[in-house]
Structure 1
């Protein structure tokens, strides 16, 4: 199955940044794809420059199978811009680049809202405003988007329903395995059309050593989870910030990719690496968050 995600790009700047990180053997491959990164989305003009993202060749999601899936939207346009995952009734996790300006500074939360409990990208679902945005303090949009993760505080809690339920944050790191992915990203690039229904599929994770056979090691951090690497199976424009779920837990957040599903691995924020930071911010943002953070701490396996 294919997938893809999305992002705004500034091609000359992107070319310079990526050329610094590509190995000599990978640079020719990168130069063949760089023109594809020109594609942008008007409603995300505040987002940082980055590669493309979306789910390619996916299936229409089964109703109620992804109750944690969230659509992040902007202003009055009601247009889907990024995915996110509901991790408590009051908090979501998404990519930092979805809610940041070109510096590690959060946008005004009043300019963002989420829609939950829906499959359609056109109508339906529960609309909830954001009250606060927390971006990882070491998020670096100018350096391969390291620490690309953010926590969103909702203005009102989401009640549990058949189609609205949180997903646990990863309690252990993931191995090489198949994981579930979902999103409203484009099916191919170039395209100005998002799918009308939530798309879903399966993508396999890989080791860092395998990933740096495709990308330079300076691009792949310990907090980067590489996924895919099979032509026709990847993320694309509109999938950014969306969840990768392994073993029933939130293991990854879509960060960057080579548009779209061109056979190179996609980069995700490795949620387990940010587990403590996510829980600390959830706890700091609300009483309910403190309860969930305490539950998460109690469930974490003890270290030998």
Structure 2
């Protein structure tokens, strides 16, 4: 009888844990999708000119639809973004050197033939959410420049407890109807995967994911997908998912962990740390 009671309690505990978990969704796929491709990080700060020269805006088109994502310059000819951004796209317009989104220093149009989406990307589990875009060579300047990839030795670091910077043009709030065209950023604390798994579970938060805490409703949101998470001048994450309950939920935000894909990036693009 005692064994039966213990077993029931264990099952109840596991069930409660499963029920308490939230569903993770890509910002691009979150509810309340606006027809506008503009917006900003929820409750973030306004970026100054040339503050994030590695940030690009990506205007995708495909199957009669369009959507906005972010990306990071990792070399003169390569952009790193999320697989859920390139998914279903036939082409993209890249906005370089923008603080005001519509005032790019340079624009490039690239067809999907130049997209390198991770072959094992899964929209169901959100795993391997990473893509490369090959571009024509760009000349670096104070407003257009690359961000360094982390060293392979950093693969052993969880970055937990450190403050990283996320940037983008994502939505201002879950219910935003008005938008801003200015690049935004927020400083967010990296948390352990174990803590993040308490919200989203271990099937979503794998070793290839890095999470940040969201407090005071500061988070990534629709439009920030594929954008950079930077720490000490290195690209450590690619904006991947938020809670299905909304960006202002104060639930963790998830990113593709760049250190888990250094070999993939090098193999596909030749770019390495």
CA offsets, 1:110-141, max 9 Å, x none? x2120101100233331012250001111001
Partner residue in 2 for 1:214: 199
Q: Assess if the C-alpha contact under 8 Å between 1:231 and 1:262 holds in 2.
A: no
State which of 85, 101, 106 in structure 2 corresponds to 1:126.
106
Gap runs ≥5 in structure 2: 1-13
Kindly state the Cα deviation for residue 54 of structure 1 after the two structures are TM-superposed. 6.0
Instruction: Map residues 252-291 of structure 1 onto 2, 5 A cutoff.
Output: 252-258=237-243, 259-283=246-270
CA shift digits 1:8-52 (9 cap, x unpaired): xxxxxxxxxxxxxx9633635648x9xx943224488xxxxxxxx
Are 1:186 and 2:171 counterparts?
Answer: yes
Q: 2:59 aligns with which of 50, 65, 73?
A: 73
Compute the displacement of 1:181 (Å). Answer: 1.1
Structure 1 residue 163 corresponds to structure 2 residue 143: yes
Aligned length: 244
Where in structure 2 are the equivalents of 1:85-100 lying within 5 Å? 85-100=72-87
Structure 1: runs of 5 or more not aligned: 1-21, 45-52, 102-106, 284-291, 297-304
Match of 2:122 in 1: 140
Q: Deviations over 1:63-114 (max 9, x none)?
A: 111000000013599x76000000001100000000013xxxxx33xx2120
Question: Could you report, residue by residue, the CA deviation over 1:179-219 in whole angstroms, capped at 9, with x for unpaired residues?
Answer: 11110001101224432100012011111111122222222
Q: Tell me which residue corresponds to 1:61.
A: 47
Provide the C-alpha distance between the structure 1 equivalents of 2:184 and 2:75, rounded to a whole number of angstroms: 23
Match of 2:159 in 1: 175
User: What is the match of residue 25 of structure 1?
Assistant: 17
Structure 2 partner of 1:12: none
Provide the aligned C-alpha RMSD in A. 2.7
Rounded to whole Å, the distance in 1 between the matches of 2:129 and 2:104 is: 29
Q: Aligned to 1:257, what secondary structure does the other structure show?
A: strand
Higher strand share: 2
- With normalisation by structure 1, the TM-score equals 0.73
